[in-house]
Structure 1
Amino acid sequence: MSKFDHIRPFYDTEVNEALHSVVQHPMMKALMSFTFPDTPEEVWAEQLKRTHSKRDFQANFIYHAIQMVLQKSSEGLTTSGFENLDPHTSYLYISNHRDIILDTSLLNVSLLEHKMIMTASAIGDNLVQKSFLHALSRLNRNFVVQRGLSPRELLQSSKLMSEYMCQLLTRENRSVWIAQREGRTKDGNDATQQGVLKMIAMASDEANLMDYFKKLRVVPVSISYEYDPTDALKMPQLMAKANDEVYVKEKNEDFNTLLSGIMGQKKRIHLHIGKPLNPADLDTIAVENDNANKQIQALAQLLDDAIIQGYKLWPTNYIAYDLLHDCTQFADKYTEKEKQLFERRLELRIDIDNKVMREGFLAMYANPVVNKMKYQDA
């Protein structure tokens, strides 16, 4: 047994057996009926049973599922920055995190279209409690991040994940996707958690920590949705924080958020691939900071700078900023109709008489504008 067995995706030798075990599952039937509405069940079922690799499963089934999601719940995906990548090189994509499933799925759809190496992607074990979802995630090349552990277990789990990511990137030429933080941002502020970078660095055998990050070929990724399909679902947690209360998730909340994120209206989506971090910038971090903690802090800032600058602002962001500050600073960035539609969304999704809720909802959309203004005129 490999020490990675309880967190890794299926090996290709295991894919066919796994597909046979789930082909008749109601959730697989629902997924395939959604993806191929005009195809008889026996046809897609037979094709699934003849699939023997994760890549074929992703390219022949999941790719089309994501295309259908885009068709039904968005006005399309645009991308930029893929010219920064080499098709034969693996990268560590560190991304801002807005949607549980789509952030990484849209990256992989785009990588497939650009004939580049797709990613193995981190997914929290809270999202794969059901056996079917666990199997589907392993077929889709996800590896499991264990949550809710004791400090000692967390340390062991983090070391294992760091070693696994290192093996993928440096020995298997497999790209890896990981979010810049644990959990999605709830307030629109995309900030890299230093703990994520410390976990990645655990497998380092380099005397100089930045030399290890050079080996991993880190690429910052920015994804932006014109409408956040889970914006209203984030309100209870923001309200609890505002009231200084401990937020307790409801049963099945993660699963419901996952479905809302996939099928909720997003309007336009943009995915930007930043340039791989410049080795010279990493050398500068090593020279200017005399200990590992300071280096990690500087690396987090470097990533934040790239992710925020690569983030595409939509009319909704500017509208929210103006509504929040009761001004017309960005009135040239949107139409009156776009403003009315956004205000209508606001009224339908939250109690607008609740000041804390209204400000929290608007800030979620407005904060990317605030953050970008620190670098340039938004």
Structure 2
Amino acid sequence: MSKFDSIRPFYDAEVNEAICNSVNHPMMKSIMDFTFPDVDDEIWKNQLRRTHSIRDFQCNFIYQSVQKVLQKSSEGLTTSGFEKLQKNTSYLFISNHRDIILDTSLLNVCLFDHGLVMTASAIGDNLVKKDFLKTLSRLNRNFLVQRGLSPRELLESSKLMSEYIGQLLLRENRSVWIAQREGRTKDGNDATHSGVLKMLGMGSDEKNLIDYFKKIKIVPVSISYEYDPTDALKMPQLMAEANAEKYIKEKNEDFITLISGIIGQKKRIHIHVGDVLNSELDNIATEFDNNNKQIQALAQVIDDSILQSYKLWPTNYIAYDLLHKTDKFKNLYTENEKSLFERRLEMRIDESNSQIVESFLAMYANPVVNKLKYENAI
């Protein structure tokens, strides 16, 4: 047994058996009916049974599924920065995190379209408790982040995951996607948690942590949705946090959020990949001489990249003006766009609760506030 068996995706030698065991599952039929609505079941089943690698599964099935999601629930995906990446090269993509499945799925579509190495991607084990979902995630090159652990278990799990990420990047030439924090950003304030960077550093075989971070080629990624398809679903947790209450998820809440993110309306989407962090790491090494300060400085560098390259949409400017009762950005949206956003607000939340209204608007407005910190005028 490999030490990584508890968290790793399938090896290619395991793919065909996993697919054959899942080909008749009702959820597989739902995915294929959605992706290939005009194709007879036996045709896609036979094609699946002839699939023997993760790449073939991703390219022939998952890629097509994501294209159908974009077609049905968005007004298009645009990108920037991918042309700066090198082919046949692995990168550690650290991104803001808004949607459970789509963030990494869309990034992989973009990497494939640009002829670049696709990622192995972190996913919380709380999201794949159902056997079929766990199989599907392993077929899609996800590795598991173990949740709900004691401090001692968390330390061991973090070491294991760090070592696995290092193996992927440095020995297998496989890119890796990981979110900048545990869980999705729900209030629109994207921020890198130092714990994520500390975990990554655990796998270092370098004396100098910064040398290791340079070796794994960190690339910040910013993903921006014009409409967050799960915006209303994020409200209960935000309300609990605002009232200093412990938030307890409903049964199947993660699954409902996952499905809502896929089928919910997103309008336009933009993904920007930043530059590989290199000179920034040299500057950090020069300025700070202990690991904690270096990690805090690196978190700030990643934040700077993500926030500055975040694509602001009319929805962000409308929410800012509604929240602050101003017309500061009225030249950046139309009256029709404003009416549509107000209609969304009316349909998705209880407008009689001012706290919920403010939280909903702040979710969309905070990216504007964050960008204003970098640009005096937009």
- What TM-score does the superposition give when structure 2 sets the normalisation length? 0.99
Query: In structure 1, the residue corresponding to 2:220 is in which secondary structure?
Result: strand
Q: Which residue of 1 aligns with 2:329?
A: 330
1:294-332 CA-partner distances (Å, limit 9, x unpaired):
000000000000001111000000000000000000000
Write the mapping of 1:60-75 to structure 2, written as runs, cut at 5 A.
60-75=60-75
Q: What is the CA-CA distance between 1:286 and the residue it aligns to?
A: 1.1
Q: Report if the CA contact (8 A) 1:95-1:178 is conserved.
A: yes
Q: What is the CA-CA distance between 1:280 and the residue it aligns to?
A: 2.1
Q: Indicate yes or no: 2:272 matched with 1:272.
A: yes
Q: Report if the CA contact (8 A) 1:221-1:274 is conserved.
A: yes
In 2, Cα distance between equivalents of 1:98 and 1:285? 28
Q: Which residue of 1 aligns with 2:89?
A: 89
Q: What is the CA-CA distance between 1:10 and the residue it aligns to?
A: 0.2
Q: Indicate yes or no: 2:355 matched with 1:356.
A: yes
In 2, Cα distance between equivalents of 1:300 and 1:359? 28
The letter for the 1-side match of 2:122 is A
Q: Which residue of 2 aligns with 1:18?
A: 18
Q: Which residue of 2 aligns with 1:44?
A: 44
Q: Which residue of 2 aligns with 1:312?
A: 311
Q: Report if the CA contact (8 A) 1:84-1:276 is conserved.
A: no
Query: In structure 1, the residue corresponding to 2:213 is in which secondary structure?
Result: helix
Q: Which residue of 2 aligns with 1:233?
A: 233
Write the mapping of 1:1-378 to structure 2, written as runs, cut at 5 A.
1-277=1-277, 279-376=278-375, 377-378=377-378
Q: What is the CA-CA distance between 1:243 and the residue it aligns to?
A: 1.4
Q: Report if the CA contact (8 A) 1:12-1:54 is conserved.
A: yes
The letter for the 2-side match of 1:312 is K
In 2, Cα distance between equivalents of 1:314 and 1:86? 29
The letter for the 2-side match of 1:315 is P
In 1, Cα distance between equivalents of 2:239 and 2:177? 31
The letter for the 1-side match of 2:14 is E
Query: In structure 2, the residue corresponding to 1:67 is in which secondary structure?
Result: helix
1:200-227 CA-partner distances (Å, limit 9, x unpaired):
0001121211100000000000000000
1:229-253 CA-partner distances (Å, limit 9, x unpaired):
0000011011111211111000000
The percentage of counterpart residues that share the same residue type is 74
Q: What is the CA-CA distance between 1:353 and the residue it aligns to?
A: 1.8
Q: Report if the CA contact (8 A) 2:75-2:268 is conserved.
A: yes
The letter for the 2-side match of 1:134 is K
Query: In structure 2, the residue corresponding to 1:244 is in which secondary structure?
Result: coil
Q: Report if the CA contact (8 A) 2:96-2:180 is conserved.
A: yes
In 1, Cα distance between equivalents of 2:302 and 2:244? 30
In 2, Cα distance between equivalents of 1:10 and 1:36? 25
Q: Report if the CA contact (8 A) 2:323-2:358 is conserved.
A: yes
In 1, Cα distance between equivalents of 2:249 and 2:314? 32
The letter for the 2-side match of 1:294 is K
Query: In structure 2, the residue corresponding to 1:245 is in which secondary structure?
Result: coil
Q: What is the CA-CA distance between 1:18 and the residue it aligns to?
A: 0.4
The letter for the 2-side match of 1:344 is R
Q: Report if the CA contact (8 A) 2:83-2:114 is conserved.
A: no
In 2, Cα distance between equivalents of 1:177 and 1:57? 19
Structure 1: runs of 5 or more not aligned:
none
Which stretches of structure 1, 4 residues or more, deviate above 3 A after TM superposition? none
Q: Report if the CA contact (8 A) 2:316-2:365 is conserved.
A: yes
In 1, Cα distance between equivalents of 2:309 and 2:88? 24
The letter for the 1-side match of 2:351 is I
In 2, Cα distance between equivalents of 1:336 and 1:328? 12
In 1, Cα distance between equivalents of 2:52 and 2:115? 20
The letter for the 1-side match of 2:87 is P
Q: Report if the CA contact (8 A) 1:224-1:313 is conserved.
A: yes
Q: Report if the CA contact (8 A) 1:208-1:286 is conserved.
A: no
Q: Report if the CA contact (8 A) 2:95-2:178 is conserved.
A: yes
Query: In structure 2, the residue corresponding to 1:18 is in which secondary structure?
Result: helix
Query: In structure 2, the residue corresponding to 1:104 is in which secondary structure?
Result: helix
CA RMSD of aligned residues (A): 0.6
Q: Report if the CA contact (8 A) 1:120-1:141 is conserved.
A: yes
Q: Report if the CA contact (8 A) 2:120-2:175 is conserved.
A: yes
In 2, Cα distance between equivalents of 1:14 and 1:269? 34
In 2, Cα distance between equivalents of 1:179 and 1:43? 37
In 1, Cα distance between equivalents of 2:13 and 2:355? 53
Q: What is the CA-CA distance between 1:371 and the residue it aligns to?
A: 0.2
Q: Report if the CA contact (8 A) 2:224-2:310 is conserved.
A: yes
